Amino acid sequence: MASYDLAVKTEGLTRIFRLRKREARDGAREILALDRVTLEVQRGELFGLLGPNGAGKTTLIKILATLLLPTSGRAYVAGIDVVENPVEVRRHINMVVGGETSGYGLLTVEENLWMFAQFYGIPSREARRRILELLALVGMADRAKTKVYHLSSGMRQKMNIVRGFLTNPEILFLDEPTLGLDVQTARTIREFVRRWLEEHPDRTILLTTHYMHEADELCDRVAIIDRGRILACAAPWELKTALRQEAVFRLRVEGIADAKAALDGMPEIRALAQHAEDGQLLLDLVLASEEALVSVLARLSASGARLAELRKEEPTLEDVFLALVGRKLTEDQDEHS
């Protein structure tokens, strides 16, 4: 195995997509998908990239996996430059994209996985051993001989994940591995990932997600990304602790349609997100201090709002994101791709 400390290292990584005329968005012919991203992922880490749809997560993964070239900046995987020497990089990595399947429906699960193993030069016997072992770990031991077109989509996704681990890569990229999966399957996958890394402490996983729980629960360190930029990068607890000096409240109010407008211009408010539900308005508030709550409530009441519920909460990564970006991670994007 090559000697390197940083599994992934990027310096000012930027990627611009040029659009054809008829694809232009709001008249813009260019999309800045990554904006001077500088990151370091230690060997042995489970590193998370948390950001909403369209943040640039997949773009970053694709560049690291040698499937896309950066517009500028540099990136090293296993200490190797991905632009200069992609062939060498590929020997150290694998990638799984959630929501995608792989292989051919006509083949059985085992045959499909075996086929991919062949592309990595793994002898058949060894491949078979690993396939059965990994399938058992994701609860698919009894499906080895099932043809893929008979599998449910969740099962296909699990098979695809097994494909990523099958080659025992030094660095594995998981792009939204639990995308669209039911809670139970997603949990199985998260447990599997965690366990694999415990058993292979010298391996590295870079995982992207837009589920904050996933990042919180799973990752050693998380980088928060939005609109192509890394806004923060630390362990989840560190990110949350940073918010603890501030105060996070959840409010449920009635009799008001737009609290944002009502609270506009209050310097104590670090971040605010609102969301209507059953005729009430749910507010997530990040305030500079607890004392500020009084003036916020006064202002709301002056605008005709009645308070239905008030809770003080421990900050979550969602609140971290809210404080950093000014909107919630899950808030509807103008971007749907």
Whether 174 contacts 206, CB under 8 Å: yes
Check residue 150 for interaction with another protein (CB under 8 A): no
Minimum Å distance from CB 288 to another protein?
Answer: 38
- Count of CB atoms situated within 10 Å of the CB of 275: 13
Partner from another protein, Mg ion, ligand ADP, none contacting 56, C-beta within 5 to 8 A by type = ligand ADP
Whether 223 contacts 232, CB under 8 Å: yes
Which stretch in 48-56, 157-165, 287-295, 316-324 sits in contact with ligand ADP by CB under 6 A? 48-56
Which stretch in 10-18, 217-225, 229-237, 256-264 sits in contact with another protein by CB under 8 A? 10-18
Which stretch in 59-67, 209-217, 274-282, 326-334 sits in contact with another protein by CB under 8 A? 59-67
At 16, which amino acid appears?
Answer: I
What's the angle, vertex CA 314, arms to CA 297 and CA 263, rounded to 5?
Answer: 25
Whether 218 contacts 207, CB under 8 Å: yes
Check residue 100 for interaction with another protein (CB under 8 A): yes
* Tokens found for residue 173: 């990229």
Judged by beta carbon, residue 19 or residue 141, the one nearer ligand ADP is 19
Identify the residue among 31, 78, 159, 207 touching ligand ADP (CB under 6 A).
Answer: 31
Task: Tell me how many residues contact ligand ADP (CB under 6 A).
Answer: 14
Check residue 73 for interaction with ligand ADP (CB under 6 A): no
Judged by beta carbon, residue 23 or residue 133, the one nearer ligand ADP is 23
Q: Nearest to residue 65, comparing CAs of 147, 190, 167, 134?
A: 167
**CA–CA dist 253, 302 (Å, integer):** 13
**CA–CA dist 142, 136 (Å, integer):** 8
Whether 206 contacts 219, CB under 8 Å: no
Can you give the binding site for another protein, defined by CB under 8 A? 15, 17-18, 58-59, 62, 65-69, 87, 90-91, 93-95, 97, 99-107, 111, 114-121, 148-149, 163, 337
Can you give the binding site for ligand ADP, defined by CB under 6 A? 17, 19, 31, 33, 51, 53-59, 335, 337
